Structure 1
Amino acid sequence: MTDTPASYGTPDHPRVAVRGEARLEVDPEVAHISVTVTARGKDRRTALEDLTRRNDTVLELIRSYGPAVEKLETGALSITPELTKNGRDEKIRAYHGHVHITATLNDFTALGELITRVADLDMTRVNGPWWALRPTSPAHANARREAVHEAVQRAREYADALGSHLTALIELADLGAENTVPALPAPAAGFRARAGYDATPEPPPTIDLEPRRQTVYAQVNARFIMSPPEL
């Protein structure tokens, strides 16, 4: 009958439990921006037509950057009536329209120019950028590997201190390896601009943006069996 070490450890097969951690600082892979297009009119049709025209202008401008734009999505659209001051008889003073657009760029050299050009459009607001890694980024796997290596090294050091050596791995538990900056968090030091009707026809100056490095964490719990110590 094979002598299998118990997972909880025995005097002949002591168990050592450790945690391995890794923290990497890496360059971002993508940048997200959020664009809000607005319109206001005395009647619903005018507000909707202005909103449609401005939305088309923004989308056309962003698409003109080609492969630099990795993803372009339209979010919520709303047309909201504004009642008169007293609001009697449901009299409407004006209609307000909003449409939200998000874009993901992988070419940071085009990012500053795109942001200022979009912000220069009528009744358009830009928030961002938010720097991020892709979910499939190799940085996540690298952090997990380093965490495992640290766990093994730490367990070996404990075993060595007792005159023992590791004989088996009995458990490896992943506690997560994730980017600390979500897809669209509030920017710590982002760019925000809102353009009005006074946008000038001249091309706006390009803002210089410095990508914010991303922090990737990984943690694992590991349990090993080691040889009997020399006490």
Structure 2
Amino acid sequence: MTSDATPQPYGTPEVPRVAVRGEAHIEVDPEIARITITVSARGTDRRTALDDLTRRNTTVLDLIKSYGDPVEKLETGAFSITPELTRHGRGERIRAYHGRVLITAELSDFTTLGELTTRLADLDLTRVDGPWWALRPDSPAHGEARKQAVHEAVQRAREYAEALGARLTALVELADLGAENATPLTMAAPAGMMRTMAYGAEDAGAPALDLEPQRQSVYAQVNARFTMTPPQL
């Protein structure tokens, strides 16, 4: 048995409801950038390769740390020492050892980023990839997009009501669809959002790269339901 207190999801002739979706899409400048640095080394024996890799890794870390506050995060990822085998007669022998360390750095100063990237790429057996541009998770841009989506929902509902000679009386429901879509640093950037640089140490004192930060798209969507006065049909 249905009671009179049972909610009416679609409203009633006396208290009709209007359901709308509000959307917002804004573009803002990025707040941080990430680069990855791959440091390599090669030696005829394991110890030589390891010592060389350790020295190069320390040089890279010291250079990055020397930039201070603009470097917001510095992390060491994968590390490997791999033997290179060569066939000799009836057996296999180790020809050399290859070492590799992957380092990730996040910066908030893009002028510093251009200078640091060039200096890193100018080091021997060092590869630089990136930058990947992004917003911080708590960026005000996310809140601004949500506000715009709510305002659009209210405006759209009001226009529907006015078209019927009615007016909005109350908000019944506001549902966040979680549709904002800024690219996080932990995800691969879509096509067109990554620039890759791989250099050897060819020229001394190479000029700083002039990087043009890529603007970030932020989306927000909400569903909203309102009650309104009876329409004038």
TM-score (norm 1): 0.91
Percent identical residues: 70
Secondary structure at 2:34's aligned position in 1?
A: strand
Secondary structure at 1:74's aligned position in 2?
A: strand
Return the match for 1:103 from 102, 105, 111.
105
**Equivalent residues of 1:179, 1:214 under 8 A apart:** no
Alpha-carbon distance, 1:199 to partner: 4.1
Residue type of the alignment partner of 2:110: F
Call closer, same or farther: CA 1:132–1:87 in 2, change over 3 Å: farther
Alpha-carbon distance, 1:3 to partner: 7.4
Show structure 1 runs of 5+ residues with no match.
none
2:143 aligns with 141
1:192 aligns with 197
Show structure 2 runs of 5+ residues with no match.
none
Call closer, same or farther: CA 1:181–1:106 in 2, change over 3 Å: same
Call closer, same or farther: CA 1:112–1:48 in 2, change over 3 Å: same
Looking at structure 1, the residues matched to 142 and 89 of structure 2 have their Cα atoms a distance apart, in angstroms, of 55
Looking at structure 1, the residues matched to 102 and 80 of structure 2 have their Cα atoms a distance apart, in angstroms, of 9
Call closer, same or farther: CA 1:87–1:16 in 2, change over 3 Å: farther
Alpha-carbon distance, 1:168 to partner: 1.9
The count of residues paired between Structure 1 and Structure 2 equals 228
Alpha-carbon distance, 1:4 to partner: 8.3
2:175 aligns with 173
1:132 aligns with 134
Matches within 5 A, 1:54-133: 54-85=56-87, 89-133=91-135
Return the match for 1:207 from 200, 206, 209.
209
Alpha-carbon distance, 1:181 to partner: 2.6
Looking at structure 2, the residues matched to 190 and 217 of structure 1 have their Cα atoms a distance apart, in angstroms, of 24
Looking at structure 2, the residues matched to 43 and 17 of structure 1 have their Cα atoms a distance apart, in angstroms, of 71
Alpha-carbon distance, 1:90 to partner: 4.3
Call closer, same or farther: CA 1:6–1:126 in 2, change over 3 Å: same
Alpha-carbon distance, 1:204 to partner: 1.6
Q: Structure 1: which 4+ aligned runs deviate by more than 6 Å?
A: 2-5
> RMSD across aligned C-alpha pairs, in angstroms?
2.1
Alpha-carbon distance, 1:179 to partner: 3.8
Residue type of the alignment partner of 1:153: Q
Matches within 5 A, 1:215-226: 215-226=217-228
**Equivalent residues of 1:178, 1:218 under 8 A apart:** yes
Matches within 5 A, 1:28-67: 28-67=30-69
Residue type of the alignment partner of 1:79: I
Call closer, same or farther: CA 1:86–1:153 in 2, change over 3 Å: farther
Alpha-carbon distance, 1:81 to partner: 1.4
| Deviation string, structure 1 residues 57-89 (Cα, Å, up to 9, x no partner) | 000000010011011111111111111147964
Looking at structure 1, the residues matched to 104 and 143 of structure 2 have their Cα atoms a distance apart, in angstroms, of 28
Call closer, same or farther: CA 1:88–1:11 in 2, change over 3 Å: farther
| Deviation string, structure 1 residues 190-210 (Cα, Å, up to 9, x no partner) | 241222xx545x322111111
